[in-house]
Chains A and B, each alone.
Chain A
Amino acid sequence: MGRYRDINEGLAYLLLGVFLVFILPAMLDPYQLSLFSKYISMAFVAIGIVLMWGYGGILSLGQGVFFGIGGYLIAMFLKMEASAPEIPEFMVWSSMQALPVWWVPFKSFTLTVIGVFLIPAVLAFVFSYAIFRKRISGVYLAIITLALALALSVWIIGSQGQTGGSNGITDFTTLLGMDILEDEAKEILYFVQLGLLLLVMLIASFIIRTRLGKILIAIRDHEDRVRFSGYNTALIKAFVFTVAAVLSSVGGAMYTLQVGLIAPSVVGVMASVEMVIYAAVGGRLSVPGAVVGALLIGYARSYLSENFPESWLFFLGAVFILVVVAMPKGLAGLAEQIMARTTSKESSL
């Protein structure tokens, strides 16, 4: 069975790679391509959720928090680049006199990039290690993380002068002097993002295949036994929570670059729960599945809300229910079943 899985996953990687690298850029015009870049940024989050939820059994409904941290950090950098040497105009409108202190470090690109990785990592680790040591898990963790997502979005909307409020941070065009809204730059960004995505996918697939991956599965299925065997399960769970948080943050940073704005709507409760469904649709146990799930749901959202705006929430709601009721392993599970059936037929011949 293990070999089947490896073959299947290899096949999925290959198909996905051909689709994203060759077919999509050839078929789509730059505007549509940038839409897909947006969905790909969500794929980072979905991969994190596969590791954390599919393998670790930790359902966090607060991934929007880390997505928002990454997204807002990059947006702060871009905004200050756009408005330098003045302070950003939304601060002026809210009659702020000077830049808030916590904005200052992100004038530097290097510090911003480090921040995108380090800040969510530290926050996620400290938070989750504390929580897991108290053995808070399951539904309670879901509710607590949901409360975090709510708190962050309420805070962002409430502090107009420091965060841009409900409009978010918008109106920036250049990254280190390069115009990111231009078609050519968008294409370059698309491929940069693809490269990063591939790297992340490989790392995730690798983690799953190491001993750590095995222990994660064991924790998911029977945490007490793993603890009694002498493992510090809280530490392992905190580690995977942290990895997922960093992936979310990277996704958020990519999102800001691709879309050209960040707003609290991608941080809050709705967005955070939606992120879980990307992983669930693709298959909570499959890394390529998560990417496919993010692309599919993202595409369905744009397509349906453009053509049949009434139907989008019906569709999304139905997907939530369908995944839980009919296909707990998502599309990847479906594909695996089909593969297993065809190969077993071949071998029986």
Chain B
Amino acid sequence: MNIIIMQMFGGLSLFTILLLMAIGLAIVFGLMGVINMAHGELMAMGAYITYLVALFFQHYVPSLLDTYIIPAIICAFLVTFAFGYFLERSFIRFFYDRPLDTLLATWGLSLILQQLYRTIFGAQEVSVPLPGWLDGAWQPVAGMQFSLNRIFIIGLTVLVTVGIYMLLYRTRWGLKVRAVTQNRAMSGAVGINTNKVDALTFALGSGLAGIAGSVFTMIGSTNPGTGQLYIVDTFIVVVFGGVQSLVGTVLSAFTIAQSQTTLEYVTSGSMAKVAILLLVICVLYFRPQGLFASKVRR
């Protein structure tokens, strides 16, 4: 019984991590249709910002070091948001009708960013101190342990997901985003500034990548290649869930995470990963539009 609950907690924890990774891409790729291969590097950017904020707290306000994670997450969001905005205006918007070219160009961008991180921060891994109140585990019964930082991540993911949902479905701006996604020409005709909406949507997706990167520092260290490590998984989650469907992304992250942790229990980590990748490809063969695609007219 304990094992099953711990196993489910492991899956839940992986689920929230996958979801945090994927939700930014679900907006950029799913809603806007932009293949941003540099999305992983935006996560790495968030992670490095967190690292810098932690360094800042260590040097100037060591007494508040325990609370650095909150401002760090906010900083990571703001910086990647700004970078995403700049990126869309200066680069991405010229490729909207050439998806495969976008893929190659953003891949080039990701290589440049990787080398930039390597030049600035060095090739070795950097890590941040875990705040004291997140260190340790919650132990409701003997033999069951839930590490606090994972619980924190789960909470944050819920917050972010609900926030995004509210933003997209309960605000005027979200209405504009959905309108532009569904029919760009018509939205323009009724007076929506589609360029502005595009830029802000892309920036929001980038900012979410920043949050994900920031959270990653709590469970692992960061190196210049970190983004590359996650990018394929992130795309797989979004495609598997069915693009254009945020709910699909959530369900897909859940499915993948639970099956991966279950498989990891039976076999080794890398074999589980291979199995998941092949499984996803098989499922996509039968449902190319993704598992949970909403029916849209094209």
Q: Which residues of A contact B (CB under 8 A)?
A: 59, 130-131, 134-136, 138-140, 142-144, 146-148, 150-151, 154-155, 157-159, 269-270, 273, 276-277, 280, 310, 312-314, 316-321, 323-325, 328
On whether the beta carbons of B271 and A310 are closer than 8 Å, the reply is: no
- Select one of A269, A312, A313, A324 contacting B232, CB under 8 A: A269
Q: How far is the CA of A276 from the CA of B107 in the complex (A)?
A: 11
B26 at the interface (CB under 8 A from A): no
Q: How far is the CA of A171 from the CA of B271 in the complex (A)?
A: 27
Closest to B280 in A: A147
On whether the beta carbons of A317 and B270 are closer than 8 Å, the reply is: no
Interface of chain B: mostly helix, strand, loop or mixed: helix
B189 at the interface (CB under 8 A from A): no
- 4 other A-B residue contacts (CB within 8 Å) besides A317-B111, A320-B109: A131-B285, A139-B99, A147-B281, A148-B277
On whether the beta carbons of B288 and A134 are closer than 8 Å, the reply is: yes
Across-interface contacts of A280 in B (CB, < 8 A): 104
Q: How far is the CA of A8 from the CA of B269 in the complex (A)?
A: 53
On whether the beta carbons of B111 and A313 are closer than 8 Å, the reply is: yes
- Select one of A134, A151, A277 contacting B274, CB under 8 A: A151
Question: With A147-B232, A154-B273, A317-B112 as given contacts, are A59 and B105 in contact (CB-CB < 8 Å)?
Answer: no
Across-interface contacts of A139 in B (CB, < 8 A): 35, 99-100, 103
On whether the beta carbons of B115 and A59 are closer than 8 Å, the reply is: no
B268 at the interface (CB under 8 A from A): yes
On whether the beta carbons of A158 and B112 are closer than 8 Å, the reply is: no
Nearest Cβ on chain A to B204's Cβ, whole angstroms: 21
Q: How far is the CA of A277 from the CA of B37 in the complex (A)?
A: 15
Closest to A157 in B: B270
On whether the beta carbons of B232 and A142 are closer than 8 Å, the reply is: no
Across-interface contacts of A143 in B (CB, < 8 A): 232, 235-236, 239
On whether the beta carbons of B112 and A318 are closer than 8 Å, the reply is: yes
20 contacting pairs across A/B (C-beta < 8 A) = A134-B288, A139-B35, A143-B236, A146-B232, A146-B235, A150-B277, A151-B274, A155-B270, A155-B274, A158-B270, A158-B271, A280-B104, A310-B119, A314-B112, A316-B111, A320-B108, A321-B105, A324-B101, A324-B104, A328-B101
Nearest Cβ on chain A to B40's Cβ, whole angstroms: 11
Which of B103, B228, B235 has the most chain A CB atoms closer than 10 A to its own CB? B103
On whether the beta carbons of B288 and A317 are closer than 8 Å, the reply is: no
Closest to B238 in A: A143
Q: Which residues of B contact A (CB under 8 A)?
A: 35, 94-95, 98-101, 103-105, 107-112, 114-115, 118-119, 228, 231-232, 235-236, 239, 268-271, 273-274, 277-278, 280-281, 284-285, 288
On whether the beta carbons of A150 and B232 are closer than 8 Å, the reply is: yes
Q: How far is the CA of A325 from the CA of B103 in the complex (A)?
A: 12
Nearest Cβ on chain B to A263's Cβ, whole angstroms: 16
On whether the beta carbons of A158 and B274 are closer than 8 Å, the reply is: yes
Q: How far is the CA of A154 from the CA of B104 in the complex (A)?
A: 23
Closest to B286 in A: A134
Q: How far is the CA of A157 from the CA of B268 in the complex (A)?
A: 12
Across-interface contacts of A146 in B (CB, < 8 A): 232, 235
Q: How far is the CA of A91 from the CA of B16 in the complex (A)?
A: 38
- Select one of A140, A151, A323 contacting B288, CB under 8 A: A140
Across-interface contacts of B285 in A (CB, < 8 A): 130-131, 134, 136
Nearest Cβ on chain B to A331's Cβ, whole angstroms: 16
On whether the beta carbons of B99 and A138 are closer than 8 Å, the reply is: yes
Q: How far is the CA of A75 from the CA of B232 in the complex (A)?
A: 28
On whether the beta carbons of A154 and B270 are closer than 8 Å, the reply is: yes
Q: How far is the CA of A270 from the CA of B114 in the complex (A)?
A: 12
Across-interface contacts of A155 in B (CB, < 8 A): 270-271, 274
Nearest Cβ on chain A to B284's Cβ, whole angstroms: 6
On whether the beta carbons of B236 and A158 are closer than 8 Å, the reply is: no
Nearest Cβ on chain B to A307's Cβ, whole angstroms: 15
Closest to B113 in A: A317
Across-interface contacts of B280 in A (CB, < 8 A): 147
Q: How far is the CA of A270 from the CA of B232 in the complex (A)?
A: 11
Which of A135, A276, A314, A323 has the most chain B CB atoms closer than 10 A to its own CB? A314
On whether the beta carbons of A147 and B277 are closer than 8 Å, the reply is: yes
On whether the beta carbons of A325 and B236 are closer than 8 Å, the reply is: no
Across-interface contacts of B100 in A (CB, < 8 A): 59, 138-139, 142
On whether the beta carbons of A317 and B274 are closer than 8 Å, the reply is: no
Nearest Cβ on chain A to B192's Cβ, whole angstroms: 26
The 7 A-B residue pairs with the shortest CB-CB distance, nearest first, are A320-B108, A158-B270, A317-B111, A317-B112, A313-B115, A151-B277, A321-B108
Nearest Cβ on chain B to A207's Cβ, whole angstroms: 22
Question: With A134-B285, A155-B274 as given contacts, are A140 and B239 in contact (CB-CB < 8 Å)?
Answer: yes
Across-interface contacts of B104 in A (CB, < 8 A): 276-277, 280, 320, 323-324
Closest to B270 in A: A158
Q: How far is the CA of A319 from the CA of B104 in the complex (A)?
A: 10
Q: How far is the CA of A151 from the CA of B100 in the complex (A)?
A: 22
Question: With A130-B285, A134-B288, A318-B112 as given contacts, are A158 and B277 in contact (CB-CB < 8 Å)?
Answer: no
Across-interface contacts of A154 in B (CB, < 8 A): 270, 273-274, 277
Across-interface contacts of A313 in B (CB, < 8 A): 111-112, 114-115, 118
Closest to B284 in A: A144
Closest to A137 in B: B288
Q: How far is the CA of A140 from the CA of B239 in the complex (A)?
A: 8
Nearest Cβ on chain B to A147's Cβ, whole angstroms: 5
Question: With A136-B288, A154-B270, A155-B274 as given contacts, are A317 and B103 in contact (CB-CB < 8 Å)?
Answer: no
On whether the beta carbons of A144 and B281 are closer than 8 Å, the reply is: yes
Across-interface contacts of A321 in B (CB, < 8 A): 105, 108-109, 112
Q: How far is the CA of A270 from the CA of B229 in the complex (A)?
A: 10
- Select one of B95, B105, B278 contacting A151, CB under 8 A: B278
Q: How far is the CA of A140 from the CA of B277 in the complex (A)?
A: 14
Closest to A130 in B: B285
Q: How far is the CA of A310 from the CA of B281 in the complex (A)?
A: 37
